[in-house]
Amino acid sequence: MEDVWSLLLRAGAVWVVLVFTLIVLPSALGVSLGISEAYLWVLVKTLEWATIRIEKGVKKPQPQIKTSATNGIIERDETPMEKEIVHLHQVDFEFSDIFYFCRKGFEAIVEDEVTQRFSSEELVSWNLLTRTNVNFHYISLRLTIVWVIGVIVRYCFLLPLRITLAAIGITSMIVGTTIVGQLPNSSVKNYLSEVVHLTCSRILVRALSGTIHYHNKENKPQKGGICVANHTSPIDAIILTNDGCYAMVGQVHGGLMGIIQRATVRACPHVWFERSEIKDRHLVTKRLREHVADKNKLPILIFPEGTCINNTSVMMFKKGSFEIGGTIYPVAIKYDPQFGDAFWNSSKYNIVSYLLRIMTSWAIVCNVWYLPPMVRQEGEDAVQFANRVRSAIARQGGLTELPWDGGLKRAKVKDTFKEEQQKNFSKMLVRNGSVGSLSAGTESD
């Protein structure tokens, strides 16, 4: 029995040494040994081969469905309703005219454009992971064997490796920020804090087999500014911190996340607030304004959507971030779903289940675009400014821009918003003359 334990300890020691030598140390120094690149190349070739096998295995040609932003079970006409209803009023009202509105209602019930943004996006071709498309059935024995080998690699090799790296990164973050937090406030403390955050973030990115491509680095957020980005996953913050340090803004949590928050806030001026404090918007806004006023502090990182969206869209930005003042640095983040689904459906998976899904995927590959800084224009209110920034992020990331509040993920539509849509619909009818024609017909009767 002692020999078994001795063998296990030796194997564990060898494992840790290899992880530190080949991954942790190079990532801490910002150096790549080419292992991730080689792994990604093999992965791309394997997925290309699997795609070809799937295409050959489909004997009957599938009907071509028009791809659109909705990409669901309903093929929608992108023509605005205001133009579509014009032909309904060129003649007298007929009872069959109501079927157009019934169809629109059924489309909204079966598959509206909002709730589908809170579920994983559909894949064009199977990536040998979760079967997210009903067309991805059994194809061939060779493809099944490759899938089984992939399961063994992901769960028996990649998962233990990633858990080891995540443990090293989180432990280093807690210990490093706690030690740095004991130092008096000075430029040395700020420098060491940035080194700790940057180093630990790089290790955590390696724990996800992350490959991130940063574009337009000349537009990187500067101190005293506010960085706003679309939100897909909790790892968005790690993805951005891998290339530069930020002061985070968020709610106070318990458990392991709470330990990390309490440790990091000692070394860096993050803005953590209690849930009850959210109701006092003035207090939170005041703390953010004080942070932005100090040009020596790190740029604030904010996700104005307030919730995770499934990597296909950008929803309404809350105006609070744009009332603070200062320079806004927009950032667009777009993940490649071919290698793994980075979206966190918090209403379906808890954080542990989500991390398990992430760590058993092939890799996390994404593009990050730094957009030119933007400032609030004269005569522009906070809502208009927020919409302008959101449009810029959506265009750069190739994302669909939606005016809906991400809070619909857990709440119902407000009555005021329903009333606003009803008023807009009434105005369309009036402009097209339907109300007048109906009134005239009633009087003649």
Q: Under the phi-then-psi rule, with left for phi > 0, alpha for psi from -120 to 50, and beta for the rest, what region is 382?
A: alpha
> What are the beta bridge partners of residue 226?
300, 328
Which has the closest alpha carbon to 207: 176, 241, 238? 238
pLDDT tens column, 342-377: 888 877 777 788 888 888 889 999 999 999 999 988
Task: Tell me whether residue 209 is in a domain.
Answer: yes
pTM score? 0.77
Number of domains in the chain: 1
Residues of the chain with pLDDT under 70: 1-2, 56-101, 104-122, 124, 130-139, 275-281, 406-418, 421, 424-425, 427-445
Distance, CA of 324 to CA of 229 (rounded, Å): 16
pLDDT at 372: 94
Q: Pairing relation of β-strands 247-251 and 271-273?
A: parallel
pLDDT at 67: 40
Task: Tell me whether residue 130 is in a domain.
Answer: no
pLDDT at 320: 80
Task: Tell me whether residue 124 is in a domain.
Answer: no
Task: Tell me whether residue 376 is in a domain.
Answer: yes
Residue ranges making up the domain that contains 312:
141-409
Task: Tell me whether residue 105 is in a domain.
Answer: no
Task: Tell me whether residue 6 is in a domain.
Answer: no
pLDDT tens column, 257-290: 778 888 888 888 887 777 555 556 677 778 788 8
Task: Tell me whether residue 77 is in a domain.
Answer: no
Task: Tell me whether residue 173 is in a domain.
Answer: yes
Distance, CA of 417 to CA of 408 (rounded, Å): 12
Phi, psi for residue 273 in degrees, rounded to 5: -135, 155
> What are the beta bridge partners of residue 231?
none
Neighbour-count burial of 237, counting CB atoms closer than 10 A to its CB (0-12 exposed, 13-18 middle, 19+ buried): middle
pLDDT tens column, 303-331: 988 888 888 888 888 888 888 878 899 99
